């Protein structure tokens, strides 16, 4: 164990790009405009109440649920690990240690090119890679992950890897390790 332990610190807290909230915001504005335009114009009072209730349901479905879904995805990068959290009612938490080593790839498509965002794929050797979806400044995140992974190399594992890469020698010194 080292004499001076370095505390873990947060490098970045990320969410998917906020551009996904553009259309729900447009739909909320259109919903509010339609409800305010038609409010009070129906002959029966129950029809006006039905309009208000329908406008509230539409606002809930097209704005509140997408915003809650967006808020439900959170990625935290620390000096030791990556913590992925998702879900609203059922929270899923996944952690990846930098010392385990992984491959980081950035994939961009469509509007991600314009906004410099992208999907950061982290291949840990498992069947499916871990994906940080639609992250802003994906290239910066990729380079930061590379730097953090390089800085957290385990010295024992590095020594073992160097020892395994040497060719086997037939001679052995007795009485030493």
Q: pLDDT-based confidence at 26, cuts 50/70/90? A: very high
**Pairing outcome for strands 92-97 and 103-107:** unpaired
Once rounded to an integer, what is the mean pLDDT over residues 31-55? 94
111-128 burial: b if 16+ Cβ within 10 Å, else e: ebeebebbbbbbeeeeee
Residue ending a domain, among 29, 50, 70, is: 70
Is residue 82 in a domain? no
Half-sphere exposure of 58 (CA within 13 A, CB side): 17
Structural domain span for residue 108: 99-163
Once rounded to an integer, what is the mean pLDDT over residues 158-174? 56
Is residue 145 in a domain? yes
* Span 102-140, pLDDT tens digits: 899 999 998 899 999 999 999 988 788 899 999 999 999
* Span 139-161, pLDDT tens digits: 999 999 999 988 887 565 555 55
pLDDT at residue number 168: 56
| Residue 47 reports pLDDT greater than 50 | yes
Radius of gyration of the chain (CA): 26
Percentage of the chain surpassing pLDDT 90?
Answer: 63
The residue with greater pLDDT, 28 or 101, is 28
| Residue 2 reports pLDDT greater than 80 | no
Do 158 and 104 lie in a common domain?
Answer: yes
Report the domain count for the chain. 2
Do 54 and 106 lie in a common domain?
Answer: no
Is residue 48 in a domain? yes
Are the CB atoms for 65 and 56 separated by under 8 Å?
A: no
Question: CA 134, 78, 2: angle at the middle one, nearest 5?
Answer: 155
Question: How does the average pLDDT of the chain come out, rounded?
Answer: 86
CB proximity list for 120: less than 8 A, separation 6 or greater: 104, 105, 106, 131, 132, 135, 138, 141, 142, 145
Sequence-distant contacts of 88-96: CB under 8 A, at least 24 apart? 94/130, 96/122, 96/124, 96/130
Once rounded to an integer, what is the mean pLDDT over residues 83-112? 90
């Amino acid at each position: 164990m080292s004499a001076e332990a370095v505390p873990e610190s947060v490098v970045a807290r990320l969410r998917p790009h906020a551009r996904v909230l553009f259309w729900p915001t447009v739909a909320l504005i259109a919903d509010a405009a339609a409800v305010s335009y038609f409010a009070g114009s129906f002959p029966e009072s129950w029809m006006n109440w039905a309009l208000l209730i329908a406008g509230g349901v539409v606002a809930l479905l097209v704005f509140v649920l997408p915003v809650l879904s967006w808020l439900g995805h959170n990625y935290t990068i620390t000096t030791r690990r990556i913590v992925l959290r998702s879900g609203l009612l059922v929270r899923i938490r996944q952690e990846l240690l930098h010392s385990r080593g992984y491959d980081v790839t950035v994939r961009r498509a469509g509007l991600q090119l314009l906004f410099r965002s992208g999907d950061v794929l982290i291949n840990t050797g498992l069947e499916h890679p871990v994906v940080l979806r639609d992250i802003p400044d994906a290239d910066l995140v990729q380079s930061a992950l590379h730097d953090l992974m390089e800085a957290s190399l385990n010295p024992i594992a590095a020594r073992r890897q160097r020892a395994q890469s040497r060719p086997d020698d037939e001679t052995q010194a007795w009485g030493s390790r």
